[in-house]
């Protein structure tokens, strides 16, 4: 029980270091684009280039009209980038913070916040193109604006528990980071992002077993159908609750051990 | 008030990934014990852990200059890190009161890609200081470290001596209550070494605890007022007069030996 309390205290303590991990995360981004002329602008540029080429290729196969598909793809792809980033960077949460973990007695959650915040900054780079696309293809309704803050909270909480669970697991058993990277690449094709569920025919019934679909629904459906998908929200809520519980249990066990695994 | 009380501290490093697969191993005679490192705990043929610290009792009051002596792998650095809160002891009780700053290794707790100045900001933010306050420290640190223009250059452009200057100046500028140093601190050039000694003396007047891990018994006998000599993770804290007596006796023996040789 005290280990459990220790984990919660750690998470609360780590929040107090926010100016520290915010700067670290920002430095991480700058470092990633160091010595490039466009710098962090690459986040946006890469997104636009990917999106543009996918739009050209896959819109011919889509069953819906071009404008609807454009919005569908833009939002789905932006959301997927965040999810993918959260999962893949989550596996490296502690491994990539090794020199701080071994050098300073910081709350372990500082490194989790750093990773999540870095993902948020990366996601912010994709928001302007998404907004331009939505404005240009003419989708704007109140359901979007109500949804956005809640979607953001759900995504950040998910990134948080994923970073703790996968970060711990992958620092102890390094095979998992390779496995998860491969799995996520496969999931990109198994998740309706570049294709629509309608294209699957009889096999469409299997899509509901893919958890990522619900995370995409909560942002995509308000945009495309101007309604709030309550059932998807419920599933996301349940996943988040289970995930956070799993994270706190994991964290109370791994928090003091991670340093030995690096 | 700074205080360190450790009762029966033990630390077992779990062994992760130290079992090499295949036959690329040096054959070691069964039962033969090396002269370095803690006791390796094994189950069958696989390594389980290393007993790095074994039942240490430590009591440090304000004004303590504590020396940790020992040869390679005796547990000096491990003990230093335990006192610094990096490793939690796996056995015993450790109570540390006061703000701890540790310099364990030139590669730890520093962002190599960030400039010297940015690293000072990071350390300041970690202590919860305002940017204005940090800038005051930064000016003082630049002055003391004599880094000049290099303070605005990435740390990876520094020599190890320069990194040491930056880290020492930063750590001591923020006035820790407990300062932990690994032995590299003594390896600066003569001029800076004098400044280091002077600054340590100044800090000592504010009733601070300083801990230095080193293999140099001679130098330690002159600097410390209490010490522990570790051998495979074991040792007893003693008054410095014991070490002084031993060093003096060794010196006498050396002289006698030299005389006999003549």
Q: What is the pLDDT of residues B69-115, one digit of tens each?
A: 998 888 999 999 999 999 999 999 999 999 999 888 888 888 888 99
Q: What is the pLDDT of residue B44?
A: 67
Question: Which of the four pLDDT bands, split at 50, 70 and 90, describes residue B22?
Answer: low
Q: What is the per-residue pLDDT for B23?
A: 60
Q: Is A105 touching B (CB cutoff 8 A)? A: yes
Facing residue for A259 by CB, picked from B87, B107, B114 = B87
DSSP for A160-225 reads HHHHHHHHHHHHH-THHHHHHHHHHHHHHHHSTTSS-GGGGGGGGGGGGG-THHHHHHHHHHHHHH
What's the pLDDT score for residue B201? 84
- Nearest CA-CA distance, residue A120 and chain B, Å: 20
Chain centroid offset of residue B78 CA = 8
At what angle are helices B160-173 and B190-205 packed, to 10 degrees? 20
Q: Around Cβ B188, how many Cβ atoms within 10 Å?
A: 18
The tens digit of pLDDT for each residue in B178-194 reads: 999 987 565 568 888 88
Q: Do B108 and A99 touch (CB under 8 A)?
A: yes
pLDDT (tens digit per residue) in A184-225: 999 999 999 988 888 888 888 888 899 999 999 999 998 888
Of A51, A21, A246, A184, nearest to A112 (Cα)? A21
User: What are the pLDDT digits (tens) for A134-179?
Assistant: 888 776 677 788 888 999 999 999 999 999 999 999 999 999 999 9
Position A117 confidence tier, pLDDT thresholds 50, 70, 90: very high
Examine the pLDDT at B234 and tell me if it is beyond 80.
yes
- Residue B49 pLDDT grade (very low, low, confident, very high; cuts 50, 70, 90): confident
The per-residue pLDDT for A242 is 97
pTM score: 0.90
Write the residue in B87, B100, B111 that is nearest to A27 by C-beta: B111
Window 75-134 of B: residues touching A by CB (8 A cutoff) are 81, 84-88, 100, 102, 104-105, 107-111, 113-114, 118, 121-122, 125-126, 128
pLDDT band, residue A33 (cuts 50/70/90): confident
Residue B21 in this model has a pLDDT that exceeds 70: no
B1-15+35-99+213-257 — its CATH code? 3.40.50.300
- Per-residue model confidence (pLDDT) at position A159: 96
Q: Which of A261, A239, A38 is nearest to A169 (CA)?
A: A261
Q: Quick check: helix, strand or coil at residue B40?
A: strand
Give me the residue from A20, A34, A99 closest to B126, CB to CB. Answer: A20
Q: Where are the domains of chain A?
A: 2-261
pLDDT score for B19 = 63
Cα distances from A77 to residues A53, A73, A199, B17, B128, in angstroms, run 12, 6, 18, 38, 38
B142 Cβ contact list (under 8 Å, min separation 6):
B116, B117, B148, B151
Q: Between these two residues, B201 and B39, which has the higher pLDDT value? A: B201
**At which residue do the structure tokens 């030995």 appear?**
A260
- pLDDT digits 0-9 by tens, B127-179: 989 999 999 999 999 999 999 999 999 999 998 889 999 999 999 998 889 99
How much is the average pLDDT of B215-244? 90
Contacts A–B by Cβ distance under 8 A: 62
Q: Chain A contacts of B126, Cβ < 8 Å?
A: 17, 20, 104, 106
Asked if B85's CB is within 8 angstroms of A260's CB, the reply is no
Residue B125: closest CA among chain A residues belongs to which residue? A20
Any CB–CB contact under 8 A between B156 and chain A? no
pLDDT at B41 over 70: yes
Q: Does B153 touch chain A (CB under 8 A)?
A: no
Verify whether the Cβ–Cβ distance B125 to A23 is below 8 Å.
yes
Kindly state the average pLDDT of the residues A41-65. Answer: 86
pLDDT given for residue A60 in this prediction: 79
Give me the residues of A, 15-34, that contact B with CB < 8 A. Answer: 16-17, 19-20, 23-24, 27, 31, 34
Q: Which of A24, A104, A260 sits opposite B13 (nearest CB)?
A: A260
Of A103, A256, A257, the CB nearest to B108: A103
Q: pLDDT band at B50, cuts 50/70/90?
A: confident
- Residue A114 has what pLDDT? 96
């Amino acid at each position: 029980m005290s280990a459990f309390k220790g984990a919660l205290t750690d998470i609360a303590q780590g929040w107090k270091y926010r100016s520290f991990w915010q700067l670290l995360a920002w430095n991480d981004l700058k470092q990633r684009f160091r010595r490039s002329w466009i710098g962090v602008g690459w986040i946006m540029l890469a997104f636009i280039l990917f999106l543009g080429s996918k739009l050209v290729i896959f819109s011919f196969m889509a069953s819906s009209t071009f404008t609807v598909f454009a919005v569908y793809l833009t939002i789905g792809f932006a959301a997927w980038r965040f999810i993918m980033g959260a999962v893949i960077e989550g596996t490296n949460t502690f491994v990539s913070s090794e020199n701080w973990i071994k050098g300073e007695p910081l709350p372990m959650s500082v490194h989790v916040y750093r990773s999540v915040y870095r993902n948020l900054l990366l996601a912010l780079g994709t928001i302007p193109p998404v907004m331009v696309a939505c404005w240009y293809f003419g989708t704007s309704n109140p359901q979007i604006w109500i949804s956005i803050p809640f979607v953001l909270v759900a995504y950040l909480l998910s990134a948080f528990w994923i970073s703790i669970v996968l970060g711990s697991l992958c620092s102890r058993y390094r095979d998992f980071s390779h496995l998860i990277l491969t799995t996520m690449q496969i999931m990109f094709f198994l998740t309706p992002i570049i294709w629509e569920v309608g294209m699957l025919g009889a096999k469409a019934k299997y899509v509901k077993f893919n958890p990522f679909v619900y995370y995409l629904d909560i942002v995509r459906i308000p945009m495309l159908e101007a309604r709030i998908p309550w059932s998807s929200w419920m599933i996301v809520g349940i996943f988040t609750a289970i995930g956070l519980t799993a994270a706190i249990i994991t964290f109370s066990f791994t928090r003091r051990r991670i340093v030995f695994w690096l | 008030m700074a205080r360190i009380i450790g009762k029966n501290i033990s630390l077992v490093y779990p062994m992760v990934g130290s079992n090499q697969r295949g036959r690329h191993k040096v054959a070691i005679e069964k039962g033969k014990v090396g002269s370095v490192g803690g006791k390796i705990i094994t189950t069958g043929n696989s390594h389980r852990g290393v007993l790095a610290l074994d039942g240490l009792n430590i009591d440090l009051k304000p004004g303590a200059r504590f020396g940790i002596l020992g040869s390679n792998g005796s547990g000096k650095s491990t003990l230093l890190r335990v006192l610094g809160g990096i490793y939690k002891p796996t056995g015993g009780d450790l109570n540390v009161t006061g703000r701890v700053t540790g310099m364990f290794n030139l590669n730890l707790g520093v962002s190599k890609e960030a400039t010297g100045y940015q690293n000072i900001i990071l350390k300041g933010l970690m202590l919860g200081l305002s940017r204005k306050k940090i800038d005051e420290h930064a000016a003082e640190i630049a002055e003391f470290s004599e880094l000049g223009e290099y303070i605005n250059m990435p740390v990876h452009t520094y020599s190890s001596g320069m990194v040491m200057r930056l880290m020492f100046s930063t750590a001591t500028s923020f006035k820790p209550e407990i300062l932990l140093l690994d032995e590299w601190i003594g390896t600066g050039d003569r001029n800076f070494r004098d400044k280091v000694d002077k600054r340590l003396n100044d800090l000592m007047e504010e009733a601070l605890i300083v801990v230095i891990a080193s293999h140099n018994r001679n130098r330690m006998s002159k600097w410390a007022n209490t010490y522990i000599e570790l051998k495979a993770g074991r040792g007893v804290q003693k008054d410095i007069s014991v070490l002084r007596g031993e060093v003096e006796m060794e010196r006498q023996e050396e002289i006698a030996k030299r005389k006999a040789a003549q």
